[in-house]
Structure 1
Amino acid sequence: MTAWEVVGLVLAGVFAGGINAVVGSGTLVTFPVLLAVGYPPVVANVSNTLGLVPGSVTGAIGYRRELVGQGPRLLRLGAASLVGGVVGAVLLLVLPPGAFETIVPILIVLALVLVVAQPWLARKLAERQPERHEHGGVALLAGVCVTGVYGGYFGAAQGVLLLALMGILMAETLQRINAVKNVLAAIVNLVAGLVFVFVADVAWLAVGAIAVGAMVGGLLGAKVGRKLSPVVLRAVIVVVGLAAIVQILTR
């Protein structure tokens, strides 16, 4: 890579880290840049997953106040994300390229509908099953695990899916849910990345460039995201999700 290409990846990492901290879908920024630089799709996906890990970590650190008191929840959902991330990483290595592409836009559209309808759906679910609504139950564990599979495989809009699931199945504020989302995304990216390190080709220079940018972007994104009202945050989620769908369908 040339020096300018490295700089471009750092800047893409900043933007992706910021978007991931607030909503998700940072992969849709860095992945195309890696392809444009000349990396094959699987190498680009593997390197992108590893490069975005530090940004997810700094994003979670930026939301540390919202994570207070959520330790048991993080352990439970984190375990589901860990399993899903490993499975998704293995699927990336064994399935033909693009195997999930047809369902990705459908998943994102469904997630956006759920995010918009979340306040109403959450109230209705709380009325019918208040005790389950407090922690999400088996349904949330299964949903987080499946989202982890998707995140380990590709990851674009993983955050949108997590926000939709947790927003409906847990009695919690959107900002605290967003904090948990950052931790779960970090777990998925980390475990998938560890799998890739041992069995796949990794472009380490690209990983380093994205990681540097993503760390800065994660902190900046958390600072901005924590100040957004639930209505504005939901609007940002929808805009980013729609942009993700357009990019996937037109690339």
Structure 2
Amino acid sequence: MDLPGTVLLAVAGLAAGAVNAIAGGGSLITFPALIAAGLAPIPANVTNSVAVSPGYIGSVVGSRADIPRERVRALVPIAALGGFAGCLLLLATPARAFELVVPFLVLAAAAVLAFQDRLRRLVGHPRTMSPARNRIGLYALVAAGGVYGGYFGAALGVMLVAGLALLLDERLARVNALKNVLSGVVGVVTVVAYAALGPVDWAGVAVIAPATLLGGYAGAHLARHLPSAVLKATIVTAGTAVGLSLLVRAFS
């Protein structure tokens, strides 16, 4: 890898780590950067999944004060199993069909967060939902998010934080911290699965991974000090931009 390619991946990793910690969607920075550095789409996708994972760990450390620890024990195994299933799905099936669906999933997630209060009035506030109904919805959301994260992962944070904010009666900073934990778990699973089974470009990982770690830590600290309204607007804006970018790429 030449010097310009190395610099490109390092800058992309810093930006992606910060964006993942604040709103999600950082893979839409690093994935095109890997393509620009000369990788084919499938190796770029697999390498990207492995490389951005340290950024999630940095986000967890940076947001540890807001993590709702009482929820972590139940949700982490579900996220891990979903992530592994998503990795197997990517390696076993063609990506084209899912590429066509992804933009609509991301845009829907951004819309869910944007209209969170209205949707809560329709489906019921978490305080008024039955515990069983809330728990089933939460488990299904985390499982689906894990599968998506293992398969492609771009804007996983946007989708998780939108669904979690709808189902949980928590401040958005705590929802964002829980999203960081679940994204980190899926990230660790993808590292293990793709290191064993996937075509990883380790030179690209060596450049991007440390940069995402630093960017994720810095982004998590910034997210903690943003007002909820600003954080929500940032997430919705980023999610919409990511969805539209994926839509253009899928149909171009």
Length-normalised TM-score, structure 2: 0.93
In the aligned structure 1, how far is the partner of 2:121 from the partner of 2:95? 40
In the aligned structure 1, how far is the partner of 2:110 from the partner of 2:136? 22
Please state if 1:129 is matched with 2:128.
yes
Amino acid of the structure 2 residue aligned with 1:129: T
Q: 1:127 to 1:239 in 2, by over 3 A?
A: closer
In the aligned structure 2, how far is the partner of 1:154 from the partner of 1:40? 15
Moved more, 184-193 or 115-124: 115-124
Q: Does the 8 Å contact 2:79/2:185 carry over to 1?
A: yes
Please state if 1:231 is matched with 2:229.
yes
Partner of 1:78: 76
Amino acid of the structure 2 residue aligned with 1:169: L
**Can you give the 5+ residue segments of structure 1 that lack an aligned partner in the other structure?**
none
Q: Does the 8 Å contact 1:60/1:182 carry over to 2?
A: yes
Please state how far the C-alpha of 1:131 moved relative to its aligned partner. 4.7
Structure 1 vs Structure 2 CA RMSD: 1.7
Q: Map 1:45-56; keep pairs closer than 5 Å.
A: 45-56=45-56
Partner of 2:169: 171
In the aligned structure 1, how far is the partner of 2:61 from the partner of 2:119? 30
Please state if 1:138 is matched with 2:136.
yes
- Which residue of 196, 206, 209 maps to 1:208? 206
Q: Does the 8 Å contact 1:122/1:171 carry over to 2?
A: no
In the aligned structure 2, how far is the partner of 1:215 from the partner of 1:198? 22
Q: Map 1:179-218; keep pairs closer than 5 Å.
A: 179-218=177-216
Matched-pair identity in %: 39
Q: Does the 8 Å contact 1:122/1:170 carry over to 2?
A: no
SS in 2 for 1:9: helix
Please state how far the C-alpha of 1:63 moved relative to its aligned partner. 0.4
In the aligned structure 2, how far is the partner of 1:220 from the partner of 1:47? 23
Amino acid of the structure 2 residue aligned with 1:18: A
Q: Does the 8 Å contact 1:136/1:166 carry over to 2?
A: no
Q: Does the 8 Å contact 1:13/1:211 carry over to 2?
A: yes
Amino acid of the structure 2 residue aligned with 1:137: R
Partner of 2:23: 23
Length-normalised TM-score, structure 1: 0.94
Question: Which 4+ residue blocks in structure 1 deviate beyond 6 angstroms?
Answer: none
Amino acid of the structure 2 residue aligned with 1:7: V
Q: Does the 8 Å contact 2:126/2:167 carry over to 1?
A: no
Partner of 1:92: 90
Partner of 1:34: 34
Q: Does the 8 Å contact 1:122/1:167 carry over to 2?
A: no
Partner of 2:113: 115
Over residues 148-168 of structure 1, what are the superposed CA-to-partner deviations in whole Å (9 max), with x where a residue is unaligned?
A: 101110011111111111111
